[in-house]
């Protein structure tokens, strides 16, 4: 799956340590190019953070995985970016409202 949009916010990197070792996470927010724009918060983990070279205002296409985990009877969902490519904003605006590409 992928989502396209313009970066509207880049959050500070978070890090910590668990019984599985150290972890790093960086989140950024895009606004989609759909007729009704949606804001989507995406996350990067580990070494992928080091190759994140984009800035607020950049138009991008992001390949994503969506994962939910349960904790104490509640579900938490994360949208993880695993590939980011620049997107020509002129072409992006001509896309249909559908911004997620799914085989289903």
Q: Domain residue spans in the chain?
A: 2-92
What DSSP character marks residue 13? P
Q: Give residue 25's pLDDT.
A: 96
Dihedral over alpha carbons 17, 55, 82, 15 (to 10 degrees)? 0
Q: Give residue 83's pLDDT.
A: 95
| pTM of the complete model | 0.80
**Helix, strand, or coil here: 48?**
helix
**Helix, strand, or coil here: 7?**
strand
**What is the rounded distance in angstroms from the CA atom of residue 38 to the CA atom of residue 8?**
11
Give per-residue pLDDT as tens, 47-68: 999 999 999 999 999 999 999 9
Token couple for 7: 């970066």
Q: Give residue 29's pLDDT.
A: 98
Token couple for 36: 């009704």
Q: Give residue 56's pLDDT.
A: 98
pLDDT band at 88 (very low <50, low <70, confident <90, very high): confident
Q: Quickly tell me which residue has 């790093």 as its tokens.
A: 24
Give per-residue pLDDT as tens, 70-87: 999 999 999 999 999 999
Reply yes or no on domain 2-92 having CATH 2.60.40.10: no
């Amino acid at each position: 799956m992928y989502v396209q949009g313009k970066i509207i916010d880049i959050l500070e990197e978070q890090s910590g340590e668990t019984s599985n070792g150290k972890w790093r996470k960086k989140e950024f927010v895009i606004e989609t190019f759909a007729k009704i724009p949606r804001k989507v918060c995406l996350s990067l983990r580990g070494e992928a953070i080091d190759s994140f070279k984009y800035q607020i205002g950049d138009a991008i296409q992001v390949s994503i995985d969506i994962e939910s985990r349960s904790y104490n009877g509640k579900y938490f969902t994360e949208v993880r970016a695993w590939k980011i490519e620049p997107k020509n904003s002129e072409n992006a605006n001509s896309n249909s409202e559908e911004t997620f590409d799914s085989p289903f």
